[in-house]
């Protein structure tokens, strides 16, 4: 019996040692799996970021085609082409191009991260103390909406309203108490105008920003009217958010 018991103990010890030996390399497998998962995460992360950035870049290029940028306005025709051939002199340059540029409103665009900031210098969106859009303000938003609609379901639009630096006069018939409330009402007016042009409300956000910073020391009425403005911020729409649609569904 003792011999049998010793033999059984020997066999059990061998099994235990054998089992420990089989698992000695498991840490390497787990480590390899972790590295693979990390690499997969970073590949997906950077791929998504590139896609998000490219969307706003495409919109920026489309807006530059539909509006006049400061660079376009300052650009002068060259007397020679890329091959050095003589072209028409500046006095002979087709005037139809200049007339076309004059009819297009100015636009300034700037990409910050995955967001696109859009401003319209030279456009007075509101009369002093009012939150109803001026005719030129309404027209420029209408034109913007025509371009933005191409990206419906892919982009969110944040509408920022601003006022000039003059304090609000307290009048009983007014719907607002200060410049912050006035700027919010102006943002709502701009959203209504964009929605009228078939930009879905679920893609629009309101932002009342009060007074425009740059007008803090300005009192000239002709300059202040440009501080009563609308700034548009475009950012990619997350696939989990309301209103998102895939490109193939648009």
Q: What is the pLDDT of residues 173-196, one digit of tens each?
A: 678 888 889 999 999 999 999 999
Based on the domain organization, do 207 and 125 belong to the same domain? yes
Q: What are the residue ranges of helices labelled H in the chain?
A: 2-22, 26-66, 70-74, 95-103, 135-148, 179-196, 221-224
Domain assignment of residue 138, yes or no? yes
pLDDT classification of 81: cutoffs 50, 70, 90: very low
**For tokens 């709502």, what's the residue?**
188
Model's pTM, two decimal places? 0.62
Based on the domain organization, do 242 and 124 belong to the same domain? yes
CA distances to 1, 2, 9, 11 from 6, rounded to whole Å, are: 9, 6, 5, 9
Based on the domain organization, do 38 and 88 belong to the same domain? no
**Cα–Cα distance measured from residue 183 to residue 165, given in angstroms and rounded to the nearest whole number:** 12
Residue 142: how many other CB atoms lie within 10 Å: 13
What SS3 state is found at 12?
helix
Based on the domain organization, do 54 and 85 belong to the same domain? no
Based on the domain organization, do 180 and 75 belong to the same domain? no
Q: Residue 163 forms beta bridges with which residues?
A: 211
The pLDDT value recorded for residue 151 is: 86
Region 74-103: what's the mean pLDDT?
41
Domain assignment of residue 15, yes or no? no
- Torsion of the alpha carbons at 103, 105, 111 and 117, rounded to the nearest 10: -160
Q: How many residues does the chain have?
A: 250
Name the more confident of 166 and 53. 166
The pLDDT value recorded for residue 198 is: 93
Q: Which of 91-100, 168-177, 202-211 has the highest mean pLDDT?
A: 202-211
Domains of the chain: total: 2
Domain assignment of residue 27, yes or no? no
**Cα–Cα distance measured from residue 112 to residue 114, given in angstroms and rounded to the nearest whole number:** 6
The pLDDT value recorded for residue 74 is: 45
Based on the domain organization, do 63 and 84 belong to the same domain? no
Closest CA to 246 of 120, 182, 151: 151
Based on the domain organization, do 72 and 147 belong to the same domain? no
Look up the CATH number of the domain holding residue 188.
Answer: 3.30.1330.60
pLDDT score of 204 more than 60:
yes
pLDDT score of 200 more than 70:
yes
Residue 103: how many other CB atoms lie within 10 Å: 8
Domain assignment of residue 228, yes or no? yes
Based on the domain organization, do 83 and 138 belong to the same domain? no
Based on the domain organization, do 240 and 192 belong to the same domain? yes
Domain span holding position 81 = 68-104
Based on the domain organization, do 186 and 166 belong to the same domain? yes
Domain assignment of residue 182, yes or no? yes
The pLDDT value recorded for residue 166 is: 85
């Amino acid at each position: 019996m003792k011999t049998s018991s010793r033999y059984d103990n020997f066999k059990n010890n061998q099994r235990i040692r054998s089992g420990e030996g089989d698992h000695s390399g498991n840490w390497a497998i787990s480590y390899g799996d972790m590295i693979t998962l990390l690499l997969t995460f970073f590949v997906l992360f950077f791929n998504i970021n590139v896609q998000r950035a490219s969307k706003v870049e495409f919109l920026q290029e489309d807006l530059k085609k539909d509006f006049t940028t400061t660079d376009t306005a300052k650009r002068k025709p060259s007397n020679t082409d890329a091959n050095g051939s003589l072209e028409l002199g500046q006095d002979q340059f087709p005037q139809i191009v200049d007339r076309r540029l004059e009819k297009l409103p100015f636009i300034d665009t700037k990409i910050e991260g995955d967001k696109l900031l859009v401003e319209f210098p030279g456009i007075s969106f509101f009369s002093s103390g009012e939150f109803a859009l001026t005719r030129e303000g309404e027209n420029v938003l209408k034109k913007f909406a025509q371009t933005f609609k191409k990206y419906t379901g892919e982009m969110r639009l944040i509408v920022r309203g601003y006022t000039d630096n003059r304090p609000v006069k307290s009048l009983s018939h007014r719907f607002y108490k200060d410049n912050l409330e006035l700027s919010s009402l102006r943002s709502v007016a701009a959203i209504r105008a964009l929605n009228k042009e078939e930009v879905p409300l679920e893609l629009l956000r309101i932002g009342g920003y009060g007074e425009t910073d740059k007008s803090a020391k300005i009192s000239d009425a002709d300059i202040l009217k440009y501080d009563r403005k609308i700034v548009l911020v475009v950012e990619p729409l997350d696939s989990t958010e309301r209103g998102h649609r895939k490109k193939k569904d648009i």
